[in-house]
Amino acid sequence: NQGWIDELKQVIGENKVETKDSYVKRMSQDFYWYSPILKKQLSDFYADCIVKPSSVEEVIEVLAFSAQNRIPLVPRGGGTGNYGQIIPMEKGIILDTSALNKIIEIKNGIGRFGAGIKLGKLEADLANDGYSLRFFPSTYLKSTLGGFIAGGTGGIGSIEYGTLWDEGNVVRLTILTLEEKPRLFTIEGEELKKYIHHYGLSGVIIEAEIALAPYREWEDHLVTFSNINDALSFSESIAKSESIRKRLVSVSESPLATAFKPFEAFVSEHDSIVLLQVEKGDCDQVEELAHSFNGSFLPTFSEHVKKNKVRTTDFSWNHVTLWWMKHHPEATYLQGRFDTKNYLKQVELLKEKYPNEVLIHFEWISVGGSIVPSSQPIISYTTEERLNEIITYFKEIGVKVSNPHTYLIEEGGKDDWVELISLAKKENDPYQLLNPGKMKIGIG
């Protein structure tokens, strides 16, 4: 490969192309190892080089080079995806987008940003202008705006604003195609569906315009319960409360919270917990509601987290899995949406059937205007067959599962727009060089 890598260095500049083995290996991997199945399938794939352009013009040069020489290319943000989305299955180039990190414009509640901007930095900068992100993944410190749009769903704030697919959240995207002469265009409205959660298969996002939220001060709270049912019922009540503004309602069944080391003074192994981020001033209402569901509201917790510079958000969403796996490397997880009316029954059935294999973790979010329990339950992994049995049972009892144990976009369960993505791929990536191997339609 040295031949084409030398040529690429001449095109874009030697200092923009990295081939050092250890660096290339690190940049070729994400959090695919959360899944014992993906861990077996994906651990040996690495790119030939990492290219880090610092302007749109340089990205165009790299994409043109890739098309002309038929070199596969995978766009990369922060590399925090869970399904091996950035793993280069046919080697080639990893396009590191992290230098495309400009705040381009903020106007009338809408911000236009370079795709490689890190969400944590963006959130901090927006506060100076009186704004905030509407929602962001718990990986916000590392993950990029482009990577979130291309690989994520929702996160902290989704209880108010929904997910990436909800109208008005993503306003406009600027896309580059992978052709000999890459085309640059901007899309909005229905066209956005071709590029949200698209694993970089149908084009490279260069800029994104997103709607922003007004800046608010949020406080962190912890409520503990002696049983999971009370914790869930409380969480529903607070999630649906119209008088308490919140951006996080996260439930972890006992003993998951024992893995949250910074909170160890507050929880015992018998506690199921609800972690919250609510607007400053709403604390009394939370305490009252907690008591009505037999919960213990811990008044010193809020100060404790401030003093220790941690936030409840770092123990929510898939960070729950990360903390648990630190001490239980044999564990894995699922993603699913429980039934809003029937979720307590579904949990009871799961606990009956898998008393030692399934631990409940809920995140309440808004979907199409309704507040629903999305979840990332922790699974004690033994074999692939057993995991598939568990997935089948989840589905049988009406939990809508998005399978995180596959790298194929069609099988991940967020597949409503796969045909649109495939259509855009045909137009924008005629040689099927973008992230090859991740889409069945694109194979062969």
Instruction: Kindly state the number of chain residues that form the binding site for ligand FAD, as judged by CB under 6 A.
Output: 38
Could you say whether residue 75 binds ligand FAD (CB under 6 A)? Answer: yes
Could you say whether residue 143 binds ligand FAD (CB under 6 A)? Answer: yes
CB of 297 to ligand FAD, least distance (A): 25
Q: Which residues within the stretch 322-341 sit at the binding site for ligand FAD (CB under 6 A)?
A: 322
Could you say whether residue 76 binds ligand FAD (CB under 6 A)? Answer: yes
Could you say whether residue 148 binds ligand FAD (CB under 6 A)? Answer: yes
Nearer to ligand FAD, 42 or 204 (CB): 204
Phi/psi of residue 73, nearest 5 degrees: -145, 135
Nearer to ligand FAD, 297 or 417 (CB): 417
Could you say whether residue 290 binds ligand FAD (CB under 6 A)? Answer: no
Nearer to ligand FAD, 12 or 156 (CB): 156
Q: Which residues within the stretch 305-324 sit at the binding site for ligand FAD (CB under 6 A)?
A: 317-319, 322
Q: How far is CA 185 from the centre of its chain?
A: 26
CB of 324 to ligand FAD, least distance (A): 11
Among the candidate windows 13-21, 73-81, 343-351, 421-429, which touches ligand FAD by CB under 6 A? 73-81
CB of 254 to ligand FAD, least distance (A): 21
- Residue 335's region, left for phi above 0, alpha for psi from -120 to 50, else beta, is beta
Return the closest-CA partner of residue 209 out of 124, 110, 109, 131.
Answer: 110
Return the closest-CA partner of residue 331 out of 321, 344, 320.
Answer: 321
Could you say whether residue 88 binds ligand FAD (CB under 6 A)? Answer: no
DSSP code string of 317-358: TTHHHHHHHHH-TTEEE-EEE--TTTHHHHHHHHHHH-TTTE
Other CB atoms within a 10 A radius of the CB of residue 102 amount to 14
For the window 205-224, what string marks contact with ligand FAD as x by the rule CB under 6 A? x-------------------
Could you say whether residue 31 binds ligand FAD (CB under 6 A)? Answer: yes
Nearer to ligand FAD, 79 or 295 (CB): 79
C-alpha dihedral sign at 252, 253, 259, 264: positive
Structure tokens at 280: 């400053």
Is the Cβ–Cβ distance between 52 and 18 less than 8 Å? yes
| 116 DSSP assignment | T
Could you say whether residue 174 binds ligand FAD (CB under 6 A)? Answer: no
**Beta-bridge partners for 252:** 273, 361
- 82, 296, 367, 401 from 233: Cα distances, Å: 29, 14, 19, 22
Among the candidate windows 49-57, 81-89, 211-219, 231-239, which touches ligand FAD by CB under 6 A? 81-89
Nearer to ligand FAD, 333 or 394 (CB): 333
Could you say whether residue 97 binds ligand FAD (CB under 6 A)? Answer: yes
Give dist(CA 412, CA 415) in Å, integer.
7
Could you say whether residue 436 binds ligand FAD (CB under 6 A)? Answer: no
List the one residue from 50, 115, 256, 350 that touches ligand FAD (CB under 6 A). 115
Nearer to ligand FAD, 272 or 402 (CB): 402
C-alpha dihedral sign at 321, 311, 338, 189: negative
Which residues are CB-neighbours of 216 under 8 A, at least 6 positions away? 132, 245, 279, 280
CB of 385 to ligand FAD, least distance (A): 26
Other CB atoms within a 10 A radius of the CB of residue 286 amount to 22
Give dist(CA 278, CA 233) in Å, integer.
18
CB of 6 to ligand FAD, least distance (A): 25
- Contacting residues toward ligand FAD, per CB under 6 A: 30-31, 74-82, 85-86, 97, 115, 137-139, 143-144, 146-148, 150-155, 199-200, 204-205, 317-319, 322, 435
